[in-house]
A and B are shown apart, each in its own frame.
Chain A
């Protein structure tokens, strides 16, 4: 992977990740119940799902920190199912950053490279090369002035960047991130998210990110994977999953506010709150009736909660419309092409 005199690269090799039939059980708990997943090379893949769905286990399995009970894991062309974590060309940013408290920022970032140098005295990186590479990465992430500090002296955002630096300095073909934004203040989250997207574009390596926040997932991913109870519920582009959810679960999981769901003739009908049209008499639409229960002001509009004969539902109103108030009767028309139908087992019907 490393050569003696290679010029600094701005693009890395990106690996495709393939999981086939991967299972993992912890005692009585089934964490992974047969996962089949392909993560495209060079993508920014986000794995999202409720707690207990297995997303963290998947990440640890890809990293090699956990060995699956069954199934095959491939990174690039290699079967790495039983390979040790240090030999997979994978790096990871942990949720708590896992910075080595007794090393400086520079020490943390250079740790993997220094180990490489020691394991491979002939063709491993030399001290000068290590210093240069650490310097480059530090510059990329704005850490130049912090190289001599210890993790305890850094803020949360700075620690995250150090963790990122450590993960990218070895130019991995696969970079994993475990809930990278959940430890940050809400204000920092947006800029950190933009940072990750920027890095992905500049490095070109495959990024796999795990989160429980579906909004974050939708806005960050180039490839989105929704997991439910140890299996992949659906994977594809964020647009695909949002517009054509393969199951009721995915439909209800993605989107904020969540999809409205009603029982109709043995099936489940779903529509997004933004797709409902007030005061429209279109014939090619499903009418939903109800009474307004409460309204939540969101700054650029309001979320309106209603109940009706078909159950409860939510509407989204924008600024400029005549705002509903509690007690109003409501009649919504949902265009047929915006309706989602799900069978009794939850899967999508065309």
Chain B
């Protein structure tokens, strides 16, 4: 940290200014979320008060949400979807990345082009046929309907893992082949161990992204009591209008696991992106 200390010696004022600016930005960013959380602890009649913390903090909103709203079921279903999509995309991506890294130039270029291009197509251009296909397969309101169509978005995972596979020393796969390893053995014994950090990071990333997905679950599981958390939140209204205390409690409850997961895995995610050369 030598340059850091020298910089501080020469321009202490600039350092303070830097801190101030970043604190300000952080506050602006965090503020809505913070306010939402604080509000979730307020009783219904104080929800709109200016005071950040209520004089009578309560967890009634939370108990309300947990009892009257199918929070468990929604969270459970969302977790199943997110895990399924993450696992599915990872399997697809590992196999594809391995094949592409060892493929002949032309085949590789074609498949890479198809993969990259798929990222550029806006989902709204595809949802109608996707929905029709899923419905025809009988997947409306099912886990299969939630998971399988989202496996078409594996492109990003493929590209990231491909970079990681190609970053492995080619002599390793050569050595394994010389030892008599067949392709699936090369993949299992040599390539996969080297991909572990990338797979972990990608898994977390895909999990989080899928957890946050709104449009597709909205279409395939429209029943707000048997859908995912995001759709359920968006439709959180009762006959009396929106119970904001409850709504914010629900939003907090369903966001917290993800934030925790993210903080636990943040280092891995940035490392995976770095090695993948996303510059």
Contact = CB atoms under 8 A, between A and B. Distances in A.
Direct chain A–B contact by Cβ atoms under 8 Å: yes
Contacts of B175: 92, 94, 98, 100, 166
B198 to A, nearest CB: 14
Interface string B237-263: 000000000000000000000000000
Contacts of A170: 179
Report, as a range, how many residues of chain A touch the other chain: 20 to 34
A86 B171 contact: no
Contacts of A85: 174, 177-178
Interface in A88-131: 90-92, 94-96, 98, 100-103, 111-112, 115-116, 119
A104 B169 CA distance: 18
B193 interface: yes
B179 A98 contact: no
Interface string A71-96: 00000000000001111001110111
B48 to A, nearest CB: 57
Contacts of B88: none
B174 A94 contact: yes
A65 B174 contact: yes
Contact of B180 (A63, A87, A92, A166): A87
B178 A92 contact: yes
B172 interface: yes
Contact of A95 (B171, B181, B193): B171
Interface in B178-196: 178-182, 185, 189-190, 193-194
Interface size class of chain B, counting residues whose CB lies under 8 Å from the partner chain:
10 to 19
Nearest to B105: A27
B177 A86 contact: yes
Contacts of A64: 177-178
Interface in A316-333: none
Contact of A111 (B171, B174, B179, B182): B179
A102 to B, nearest CB: 4
A90 B179 CA distance: 9
B185 A115 contact: yes
Interface of B: 169, 171-172, 174-182, 185, 189-190, 193-194
